[in-house]
């Protein structure tokens, strides 16, 4: 837990620099990522009219599993500035654990991808397309699901209605 004592904040503010384990921040263990080493933080607290304002900088390293190719890779997480206001704290201590944990979790990407140009895995044989070519990839000209839809036989009346709906949707978007 990371706490500051309000009575220790003088007119120049209070700076706290430290390191903590992921468990200090009550961070969950996930299958898609884990923290590598400690989380570094720098906190500056200042008394202001009506409460305490806290500025923090956080740095951590993650070991992640790519959502496309399943490769394990390292991702640095840097949160250069985060601000929190605690209005008239009711006690002498302010627990920063929850706000800092939220800052860390909000800084994480929704999907962990090892590289912008990651090709992922072959949907047929499972080969990592970043590392090797596979024969099934060269045989495919499009997605299997789309090929099945292309094979549907529609009568002329249904095709006309479908085309008209598509044109109406395009007019609304522009």
For residue 125, tell me if it sits in a domain. no
- Please check whether residue 153 lies inside any domain of the structure: no
Q: Confirm whether pTM is higher than 0.95.
A: no
Structural domains in the chain (count): 1
- Give dist(CA 71, CA 155) in Å, integer: 47
3-state secondary structure at position 66? coil
Phi/psi of residue 167, each to 5°? -70, -40
Cβ atoms of 68 and 120 closer than 8 Å = yes
The reply to whether 78 falls in a domain is yes
pLDDT digit string (tens) for 49-94? 889 999 999 999 999 999 999 999 999 999 998 999 999 888 889 9
Give the Å distances, CA to CA, from 146 to 40, 151, 152, 160.
48, 9, 10, 20
Which residues span the domain enclosing 91?
A: 3-107
Query: Are the C-beta atoms of 2 and 84 separated by less than 8 Å?
Result: no
């Amino acid at each position: 837990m990371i706490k500051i004592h309000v009575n220790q904040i003088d007119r120049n503010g209070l700076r706290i620099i430290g390191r903590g384990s992921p468990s200090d921040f009550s961070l969950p263990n996930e299958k898609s990522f884990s923290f590598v080493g400690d989380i570094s933080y720098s906190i500056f607290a200042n008394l202001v009219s009506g409460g305490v304002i806290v500025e923090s900088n956080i740095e951590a390293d993650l070991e992640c599993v790519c959502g496309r190719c399943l490769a394990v890779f390292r991702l640095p997480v840097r949160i250069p500035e985060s601000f929190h206001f605690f209005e008239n704290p009711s006690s002498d201590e302010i627990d920063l654990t929850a706000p800092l944990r939220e800052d860390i979790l909000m800084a994480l990407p929704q999907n962990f991808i090892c590289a912008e140009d990651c090709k992922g895995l072959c949907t047929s044989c499972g080969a990592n397309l970043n590392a090797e070519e596979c024969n099934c990839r060269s045989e495919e000209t499009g997605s299997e699901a789309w090929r099945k839809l292309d094979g549907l036989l529609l009568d002329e009346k249904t095709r006309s209605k479908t085309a008209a709906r598509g044109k109406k949707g395009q007019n609304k978007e522009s």
